[in-house]
Chains A and B, each alone.
Chain A
């Protein structure tokens, strides 16, 4: 991977939250990400969709380097991702991630889940971290659950805690990896509502989801992926009304019935 301080300085100046250039990733022989190029402006909301196994989640996971990649460059908020663990941690501090399976820490209370990283990564004093955490728990509308443990909460509540936990690190970018796929239908809405609000606040968001209503209403652009490649990037109106790529048309015809 090429890095260089010059490149990152430029990226910082031109206001991109994320720049992905010529990204390739292989799982053994399998080419899971094939020449991905994507630039996400600050404050932009991008929805990534596509059939399962198309590499959507892997792409997100490369951006905070939970997955390694073999070729290409990723610059997050002006910081180029290298193999340097310090740099990786620096990037992760700026990127919040919400997982399909919530991945809350079951041995910690909701409040402790939210303050763990601020205290131990950012070095924020405990009472201040708790104060911030309560603000965000208020924002996701579950301040009364702060003292409970994750497994005492419903799936929708857990996912909202996960969102609050990520927000507590004041990330520059929020990534959502199929945040509603593991939820009972009755709970999808409360999580989507939280994400709507976040979008209204101007948060930069990268969302992998099958919720096309959400994509239509919130996304600035929609990215369609298949077989590790980006096949189409379009604004929602165009994407749904007049998809360009054949594969997109097929996908939309399957999913929008």
Chain B
């Protein structure tokens, strides 16, 4: 080995570059104006390149074309009050008629409760309040006693809601046939049953799919893949046509119950895959540490694995729920009057027969679905941001 030449040419470098110690901290220098402020933002985000500049202009043109018409229809030409179709017909005083909000206003109760007896509608309101309370408890991650909240949401709420909405003679709640249920309450019931049932079953299926036992795994895989391989509408038809064949005649579940079973099966299969992804994201070391401390399989699952897996899965669970919430509209194919169907039915009423009635109804439906789904996805986004920012391992 030859010796390495470590000498530095002092002549070329200057003496303080060979050995250097900073005597005072470097001064703070503000960023150049090009990258900050509104002009910096516009330059970077809207006109960063030729392509993005062209897209910016095209989108601006599109907005200029669409937005005024929308505002005109929804607000300026809209009819806000009136007792029947007369208010929303074109007349010499109002040649252009926009959205007929008077129609929505007059039929609002029907859109919410369907044909649920008017005297008993407080029961639906109470159900909404109980559901909102449970949902808030679950979604608010810092809420106290979330375990109690979960028990309330997944055990107490379903039973209480059933007794409340369907009726329970000993408490003086007269039974109300589900054929009378309709509107937003049905949509909410279907979606809520979907989520309340699908999460526990989904967890069990996800665990089954990861099980060491071949029979359990096979059954889970078969169920998940079969249900996921079939459109919801098919599952709904199967549930409403085939379910009665499997059950004794005396049981004969009613139409809504059949649809609920279909939705629950369908969402369980999707939830299982979402939960499985969460389980897979938990490092093996977590299982090992739990077992090394003497925790058994179920204890490790309940105390260590699931709390972490479900937390990272919240955004995906909410996304699944958004999809489910919109899919509930399909129950109308098996004869259930959900929110969308009541809007259609109300629009067909001769009392409100105008050229704008059904357009108004669908715009209203779109707005309601959008607000609900956007709220959910906003929540999912916030949780996601928090998980990726604060809980990095």
Contact = CB atoms under 8 A, between A and B. Distances in A.
Given A66-B291, A151-B391, A151-B392, A103 B296 contact: no
B392 to A, nearest CB: 7
22 contacts: A64-B291, A85-B296, A92-B294, A97-B292, A99-B285, A101-B283, A103-B286, A105-B289, A105-B290, A106-B308, A106-B391, A107-B308, A107-B311, A116-B295, A116-B304, A117-B293, A120-B303, A121-B294, A121-B295, A151-B391, A151-B392, A166-B293
A97 B285 CA distance: 12
Interface of A is mostly: mixed
A104 interface: yes
Interface string A82-97: 0001000100110111
B393 A92 contact: no
Nearest to B286: A103
B288 interface: yes
Interface of B is mostly: helix
A92 B307 contact: no
A93 B296 CA distance: 11
A169 B293 contact: yes
A117 B295 contact: yes
A165 B295 CA distance: 13
A66 B303 contact: no
Contacts of A169: 293-294
Contact of A116 (B283, B286, B303, B391): B303
Interface in A99-127: 99, 101, 103-107, 116-117, 120-121
Interface of B: 283, 285-286, 288-297, 299, 303-304, 307-308, 311, 391-393
Contact of B294 (A89, A101, A103, A107): A89
A105 B393 contact: no
Given A103-B289, A105-B308, A117-B293, 19 more contacts: A61-B288, A92-B291, A92-B293, A92-B294, A95-B292, A96-B292, A97-B289, A101-B283, A103-B285, A103-B288, A105-B289, A116-B293, A116-B303, A116-B304, A120-B295, A151-B392, A165-B293, A166-B293, A169-B294
Contacts of A61: 288
B393 A106 contact: yes
Best-buried of B283, B285, B288 by chain A (most CB within 10 Å): B288
Contact of B307 (A66, A101, A107, A166): A107
Best-buried of A93, A97, A106 by chain B (most CB within 10 Å): A106
Interface residues of A, number: 25
Contacts of A96: 292
Nearest to B292: A97
Given A116-B303, A151-B392, A99 B293 contact: no
Best-buried of A85, A93, A103, A120 by chain B (most CB within 10 Å): A103
A104 B286 CA distance: 7
A117 B392 CA distance: 24
Contacts of A93: 294
A120 B299 contact: yes
